[in-house]
A and B are shown apart, each in its own frame.
Chain A
Amino acid sequence: MTTTEAPQDLVGRGNREGAALFRDWFAEIDETARTGGQSAYVFVMGSLNEILKTFDLPVIFPEINSLQTAVRRVAHEYLEEAEDHGYSPDVCGYVKADVGTQIRGGEHPMGQIPRPSLSVLTNACNTYIKWAEIWERMYETPTFTIDIPGTRQAGTQTWQGNSDFEADRKYVETQVRELITLCEEITGKKFDIDKFRQVLTYTNTMSRSWKQLLDLNKSKPSLFNALTDATIYLGVANGFRGTEAGASYFERLVEEMEYKAARGIGQAIEEKYRLLFVGVPCYPIFRRFNELFTDWGGQFVNSTYLWFASGGSNRGFEYDLADPVASLAEGVLISVRDAMDAMFHQNEVLVEMAEDFDIDGVIYHPIKSCRTVSTGLADGRRHFTEETGISSLFIESDMMDRRVVSEAQMKNRIDAFFEGLASRRLAAGVQG
């Protein structure tokens, strides 16, 4: 896609258009709630949007709803309501913010959230399963788990032609077909294979673009902040997966980044240190958290978050339209498995990223709320540091609960980390 826009309009376009799309999306959700329309609750690691969009089902991502309460600094109200309902402080904050939203009848800072007509989840996160059980009990919502077998041991992924892979693929395909049948029952619509192919075409464009986008950030200076800007891109990647608007957005975003790369246009702040982020962002102090790094010239150029929270779109898997249902199953298997690898076996990924993106440091941010992402980080860091010698920082907080976010303590540790990086540079005789 080419554009006729003036260069000054091109830079920053992705953020502007992403924010507008986000508003449109929530307007649709709000409208659905107010008119009593059907909707599907889904999750970022394997949303199966391709099926749901074929049935014109608006998709609701409770994870995104929940993080929005944190970004908008009202999460504590929702968490407290869920805790009053019986949920422990040790339960995932996303779950509790959603429980709070449901208790409030769908009232949310971004608009009214409809009740689910269906929930679709994968096993990429076990909490997805427990979460969907809550809606089952609250509303008797039909729940469909797409069970995706992951990597059995680090470095032993199997591929097409291997009997173990084929067994996994067949299992996923059976489930995808069962989901289609369930959607037909719930919506009263017949599955339209041609419409499905069109949806897959859009997803192919988005996946291809997502991979290009991540690759483009190898540029020096980097083109976008993998923590802040990319969260906008992630929202569009999930909410608009399989749509014309989503495909167009990502083509235009790639165009913007190629334009910046060709002209050496980086981010607003001078890039002194190139960082990788491992974990989930600190949404209760989202902007400030990033500033703690950018104040020192630290820029996040990639993250495992952009891998797993995109459902493994980083692989750029493209569906075969000649055999669309089987290909969707294969794509979901490979992509969601990759998303899981980015959490459980992330060292292989990080070593590769560190080299490709010329990294100065890695920030590990385990959070109380998410044991899926956080449990292996301390051990992973030990081994990553031993293997690469690259500096890293380990800071714990939360993605939702400000009670466990200590900005002052974080700042102390982040400052010390950058002082260490600066000393290393000086010692190495490199210009800072």
Chain B
Amino acid sequence: MTTYYLIIGNGAAGVSAAEVIRRRDPTGRITIITDEPYPMYSRPGIAYYLLGQVSDTQLYTRTPSFYRDHRFDLRTSRVTRLDIPRQTATLTDGQQLGYDVALLATGSTAVPATFPGGDLDGVVTFDTLDDAKNVLRRARRARQAVVVGGGITAMELAEGLHHQGVRTHFLQRKDRIWPRLFDERESAIVAAQIRHEGIHLHFQEEVAEVIGRRGKVAGVRLQNGPELKCQLVGVAIGVRPNLALVRDQPVEQDRGVLVNLYLQSSQPTLFAAGSVAQVYDRWTDSYQVDSLWPSAINEGRAAGYNMVDVARGLPPSYAYEKGTPFNAALLFGLHLTVIGRVGGSLRDGEGETLSYLSRGSSQVWTMPFEEQVRSAWDQKGPNSVRVVLNGGRIVGALLLGNQALADPLRHLIEHEVDISPLAGELMAGRFDALIEVANTSPSS
């Protein structure tokens, strides 16, 4: 009897799951539903497309024959309703698809602007390839733009618009960039780079209202009073997991769909992976959401493996262990790497739970510590390293500029290497010894 697998979402998690399913089950029917008119593409790559570094079609991550070769039935549609007890999905055109096992890999979507005028033509977000095309098209006509938000996506939007020749104002609500992640000195390094690029950076400034003319963006009025003329407003204040299909359903959920170690939801035939899933993290002993590409791939693969077990009537057998959340980015010519736990600061009275996750980040990064942690710094010009120590181990690191220590630090964090003998050196800002320790410590 043929097994029917339904995968909702054609991104990193969905496609990774489909690939693993196909390897284990050569005859199963695998349907992938996407509401975008494209084959799988690199979501992080849309920033490079906006910067003119790559073409749109080059962002497609697989060969043109990929879906056919794997016998994936890719459908451009939208699931409007998921009937979990009856194991049926309804598509936009009313068609019903039965399934044996389904994967929710719907990702997340930018939180819309909350200020008045946020629905005017010219207020944009930056989630998808179509968003990138929209921004690019509008940038060709716009003279001036305003970008709000503090994470990687906001910085990518500001940099991309500036690159497209648009005079760009970048607004930060606080006196720091990305205050949940960066400390004062890191923010100062990034700020200097942003200004050096020629982007107009404003601290402690927010949009009070977008001013429209004939339904289109004509400018913004700032909280502190002045008005800025602009034709484009970029909003990147965070993302929300796309939970619409399971909301009001008997599926355990918090910020995302709560899954067990097998990526299985509280409903045995429904799995979740990628940024819609809330996954157990052993570092914090809690369930966390990541909006990270490698997390989505790994969760997709693990979910796919276990979906085949469940389809065969067996218990899921592959227990997933979430890795150290990691991301690397190049922003305004400055390299940024974040690894593990860099320590949430509640000084601002704003914990992770009170605000949205930024795309390209992990809740784990900024989870506040209960234990006593210490941070060591080294800073030379635009290069900075922050190492977070808990007991005799490094639990997190943030690097700006020079990346020589990125791989050694990743190694020490992932393998929980005891660096107690070096703690004094690190606290004194001497980091070179880390490279030697990383090179000589055991690897898995």
Do A and B originate from a single complex?
A: no
Identify the B interface with A (CB < 8 A). none
Identify the A interface with B (CB < 8 A). none
